């Protein structure tokens, strides 16, 4: 059924999009789209402007509900679930322009990654119950470790809004890493980054996958797509090719539709 | 080093605060009591504004519910003051939940207007339901509070009582703001889509803080009723809501400790300016405009601003 090649490495599908279709008014933006992401793999989604990439991304992350089709995460259809519900199920997205919490410190930003994994309520926090204090202390310690790992520990006390774009992206990635998602969806993560910063980004994407997070990467940055195990090409709302980047480059349909035009 | 200096500063402020009622004229002690009362109500508004980015123009409604609960239960029904305080807080929490749940789906100006409507409707209800509130005549003869047999019947005694409660409320708020819920609140204020993507249930969280704000308003209202021993509709107008909103705006909304400065400002500034005759209201307005335009982070942000401009 699934068009994605199921490798021997892992057969379990973390993300399985089946027959998704969507229209805005009379305009069909997606038709019978099937995309799969096996566990711990990096899956790419490319396509020219207007191909429906963003709509598909928003359907998977829950910002749009599809007209038809299923979006399964770990075997459960989440197509009609809320964004928070999906987040509790281990799905996490980043944004084209990094959305950090501007008035919070870098450390606090990374601590927010733990929100779904912690549970102290308003009253327990107010009255400084031992459980809430312990939880906060361990959240802080763990976030600090993540900051060190991402090389931003020296910025821990800096407000995230004061950082340049490249570092904001690193903070967003560190926060995502802290959340330990099962499925990470990256929306144009290289936008606004310089060459060396993109190399660093590529490294972090590999780290996520090597630690068991499945990654769906949406981008029109061809260079970045090299990190993907499998790439899906979307063209006028349909998936026209699926395979490793090397094969995609040589695919005549893709060349005609996309690469040739670029 | 800086920490030790801060400790010294806090100790000095504490000593002054403890001695203040013994040194000041009775009238100014009275003003200080009102600073504490307004501060408790303003703290609720500060949590909404500074942490959630919600402008509340309806706090006087909950202040009124607390005051009338205390007045009605004590005077008309003859119950002990604790009932008035608890019933007022519970009633405020319930009403805040019922109103807050639907309106907190709104954002920005629309939400601010909705809270303004709450304040205005509340003011009209207090006026019209005179069987309950006494209307413009109000309710008099509210008993003063006593604590373990100690009568809180002078401004001096009430000063210590109200400020102790205010400080405890600030400490609780400080815990909240620096804890898990506080992080989530600030996250949803700064970048709602990212907060939502991290599983923050924004609507539920806003509703909880709205309820908390109402409870603080109600508590302040009850304490006001027992201090003034008389309540009437004039104390619960939209103007009073604006005073409560000014507290975090002046102090710098993000800091819960700053509400102390905001509360002192709204209580003291009109008093100090009143010596200048009819011009004092204009001057108060002018002082407000100056603070808001020159100090984007409020009075609390002043030292940082000075350091930035004149420091290294």
Is the CB of residue A142 less than 8 Å away from at least one CB of chain B? no
| The two structure tokens encoding residue B303 | 């030292």
Q: How many CB atoms lie within 10 A of CB B178?
A: 15
The whole-number mean pLDDT for each consecutive block of 10 residues of chain A, a chain of 262 residues, reads 46 90 89 94 90 91 90 90 90 94 97 95 94 96 97 96 94 96 94 90 95 93 90 91 89 75 48
Closest to B235 measured CA to CA, from B139, B111, B103: B139
Across the interface, do B179 and A132 touch by the CB < 8 Å criterion?
yes
User: Which residues in chain B have their CB less than 8 angstroms from residue A112's CB?
Assistant: 183-184, 187, 195, 198
pLDDT of amino acid A8: 44
* Mutate which: B93, B168, B194, B210, vs A, most A CBs within 10 A: B194
Give the number of domains in chain B: 1
Q: Residue B8: inside a domain, yes or no? A: no
Q: Which residues pair with A18 in a beta bridge?
A: A70
Q: B85 by DSSP, 3-state: which?
A: helix
The Cα B291–Cα B167 span in angstroms is 24
Q: What is the dihedral of CA A190, A193, A199, A200, to 10 degrees?
A: -100
Residues of chain B with pLDDT under 50: 312
Q: In terms of pTM, does the model score above 0.80?
A: yes
Q: Residue B113: inside a domain, yes or no? A: yes
Please calculate the CA angle A68-A69-A70 and round it to the nearest 5 degrees: 135
Q: How far apart are the first and last CA of chain B?
A: 19
Q: A88 by DSSP, 3-state: which?
A: helix
The CATH number covering residue B268 comes to: 1.10.3470
Across the interface, do A101 and B212 touch by the CB < 8 Å criterion?
no
The answer to whether A243 and A231 are in contact (CB under 8 A) is yes
Across the interface, do B180 and A179 touch by the CB < 8 Å criterion?
no
Q: Residue B13: inside a domain, yes or no? A: no
Q: How many angstroms from the chain centroid is the CA of residue A136?
A: 26
Across the interface, do A103 and B186 touch by the CB < 8 Å criterion?
yes
Q: How far apart are the first and last CA of chain A?
A: 31
How far away is chain A from the Cα of B56, in angstroms, using its nearest Cα?
A: 20
Four-residue CA torsion sign, B299, B300, B305, B307: positive
Across the interface, do A88 and B193 touch by the CB < 8 Å criterion?
no
The Cα A160–Cα A168 span in angstroms is 7
Is the CB of residue A187 less than 8 Å away from at least one CB of chain B? no
* Mutate which: A88, A99, A116, A182, vs B, most B CBs within 10 A: A99
A and B: number of Cβ contacts within 8 A: 92
The answer to whether B200 and B187 are in contact (CB under 8 A) is yes
Cα dist from A221 to A40, A46, B49, whole Å: 22, 8, 41
Length of chain B, please? Answer: 312
pLDDT of amino acid A259: 56
The answer to whether B42 and B247 are in contact (CB under 8 A) is yes
What's the DSSP call for residue A218? E
| Minimal-distance CA residue of chain A relative to B211 | A122
The Cα B123–Cα B130 span in angstroms is 12
The answer to whether B73 and B79 are in contact (CB under 8 A) is yes
- Which residues have C-beta within 8 Å of that of residue A246, sequence separation ≥ 6? none
Q: Residue B92: inside a domain, yes or no? A: yes
Q: Residue B12: inside a domain, yes or no? A: no
What's the DSSP call for residue B72? I
**What is the pLDDT of chain B when averaged over all its residues?**
91
The Cα B39–Cα B162 span in angstroms is 10
What's the DSSP call for residue A81? S
Q: Residue B240: inside a domain, yes or no? A: yes
| Minimal-distance CA residue of chain A relative to B179 | A125
Q: Which residue has the tokens 């003859």?
A: B78
Bridge-based pairing of strands A42-46 and A214-218 is: parallel
| The two structure tokens encoding residue A11 | 């057969």
User: Which residues in chain A have their CB less than 8 angstroms from residue B200's CB?
Assistant: 84, 115
* Mutate which: B180, B190, B205, vs A, most A CBs within 10 A: B180
Across the interface, do B198 and A104 touch by the CB < 8 Å criterion?
no
| Minimal-distance CA residue of chain B relative to A92 | B197
pLDDT of amino acid A10: 47
| The two structure tokens encoding residue A122 | 């308003």
pLDDT of amino acid A28: 87
| The two structure tokens encoding residue B24 | 């000041």
Four-residue CA torsion sign, A172, A173, A178, A181: positive
pLDDT of amino acid B72: 95
Interface of B with A (CB under 8 A): 172-173, 175-176, 178-184, 186-187, 189-191, 193-201, 208-209, 212, 254
- Which residues have C-beta within 8 Å of that of residue B11, sequence separation ≥ 6? none
Q: Residue B122: inside a domain, yes or no? A: yes
The Cα B273–Cα B279 span in angstroms is 8
pLDDT of amino acid A223: 84
The Cα A99–Cα A11 span in angstroms is 33
Domain holding B54, by residue range, is 30-295
Q: Residue B125: inside a domain, yes or no? A: yes
User: Which residues in chain B have their CB less than 8 angstroms from residue A120's CB?
Assistant: 179-181
Q: What is the dihedral of CA A244, A245, A248, A249, to 10 degrees?
A: -150
Q: Which residues pair with A27 in a beta bridge?
A: A24
Cα dist from A90 to A45, A137, B132, B261, whole Å: 20, 23, 53, 44
Q: How many angstroms from the chain centroid is the CA of residue B121?
A: 20
Four-residue CA torsion sign, A59, A64, A70, A75: positive
pLDDT of amino acid B80: 93
User: Which residues in chain B have their CB less than 8 angstroms from residue A83's CB?
Assistant: 196-197
How far away is chain B from the Cα of A130, in angstroms, using its nearest Cα?
A: 12
Is the CB of residue A184 less than 8 Å away from at least one CB of chain B? no
Please calculate the CA angle B175-B188-B107 and round it to the nearest 5 degrees: 115
Q: A37 by DSSP, 3-state: which?
A: strand
Is the CB of residue A137 less than 8 Å away from at least one CB of chain B? no
The Cα B64–Cα B69 span in angstroms is 8
| The two structure tokens encoding residue B285 | 């307005």
User: Which residues in chain A have their CB less than 8 angstroms from residue B256's CB?
Assistant: none
């Amino acid at each position: 059924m699934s068009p994605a090649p199921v490798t021997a490495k892992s057969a379990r599908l973390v993300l399985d999009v089946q027959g998704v279709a969507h229209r805005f008014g009379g305009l069909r933006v997606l038709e019978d789209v099937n995309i799969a992401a096996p566990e711990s793999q990096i899956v790419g989604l490319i396509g020219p402007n207007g191909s429906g990439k963003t709509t598909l991304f928003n359907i998977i992350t829950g910002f749009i509900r599809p007209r038809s089709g299923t979006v399964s995460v770990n075997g459960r259809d989440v197509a009609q679930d809320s964004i928070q519900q999906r987040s509790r199920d281990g799905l996490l997205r980043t944004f084209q322009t990094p959305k950090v919490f501007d008035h919070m410190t870098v450390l606090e930003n990374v601590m927010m990654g733990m929100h779904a994994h912690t549970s102290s309520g308003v009253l327990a926090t107010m009255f400084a119950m031992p459980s809430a204090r312990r939880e906060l202390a361990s959240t802080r310690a763990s976030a600090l470790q993540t900051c060190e790992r991402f090389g931003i520990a020296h910025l821990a006390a800096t407000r995230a809004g004061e950082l340049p774009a490249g570092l904001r992206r690193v903070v967003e990635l560190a926060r995502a890493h802290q959340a330990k998602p099962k499925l990470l969806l990256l929306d144009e993560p290289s936008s606004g980054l310089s060459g060396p910063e993109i190399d660093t980004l590529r490294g972090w994407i590999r780290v996520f996958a090597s630690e068991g997070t499945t990654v769906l990467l949406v981008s029109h940055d061809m260079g970045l797509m090299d990190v993907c195990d499998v790439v899906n090409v979307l063209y006028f709302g349909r998936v026209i090719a699926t395979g490793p980047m090397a094969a995609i480059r040589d695919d005549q349909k893709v060349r005609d539709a996309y690469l040739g035009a670029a | 080093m800086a920490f030790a200096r801060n400790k010294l500063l806090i100790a000095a402020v504490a000593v002054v605060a403890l001695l203040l009622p013994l040194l000041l004229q009775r009238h100014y002690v009275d003003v200080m009591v009102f600073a504490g009362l307004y501060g408790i109500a303003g703290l609720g508004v500060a949590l909404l504004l500074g942490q959630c980015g919600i402008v509340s123009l309806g706090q006087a409604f909950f202040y009124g519910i607390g005051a009338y609960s205390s007045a009605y239960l004590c005077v008309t029904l003859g119950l002990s003051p604790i009932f008035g305080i608890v019933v007022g807080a519970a009633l405020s929490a319930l009403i805040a939940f019922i109103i807050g749940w639907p309106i907190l789906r709104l954002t920005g100006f629309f939400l601010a207007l909705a809270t303004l409507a709450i304040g205005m409707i509340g003011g009209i209800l207090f006026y019209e339901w005179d069987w309950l509130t006494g209307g413009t005549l109000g309710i008099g003869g509210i008993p003063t509070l006593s604590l373990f047999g100690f009568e809180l019947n002078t401004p001096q005694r009430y000063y210590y009582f109200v400020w102790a409660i205010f400080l405890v409320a600030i400490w609780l708020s400080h815990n909240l703001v620096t804890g898990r819920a506080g992080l989530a609140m600030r996250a949803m204020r700064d970048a709602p889509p990212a907060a939502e993507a991290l599983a923050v249930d924004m609507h539920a969280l806003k509703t909880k803080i709205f309820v908390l704000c109402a409870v603080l308003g109600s508590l302040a209202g009850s304490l006001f009723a027992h201090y003034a021993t008389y309540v009437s509709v004039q104390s619960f107008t939209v103007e009073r809501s604006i005073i409560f909103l000014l507290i975090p705006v002046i102090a710098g909304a993000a800091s819960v400790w700053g509400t102390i400065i905001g509360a002192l400002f709204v209580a003291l500034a009109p008093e100090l300016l009143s010596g200048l005759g009819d011009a004092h209201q204009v001057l108060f307005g002018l002082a407000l405009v100056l603070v808001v335009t020159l100090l984007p982070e409020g009075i609390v942000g002043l030292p940082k601003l000075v350091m930035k401009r004149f420091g290294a």
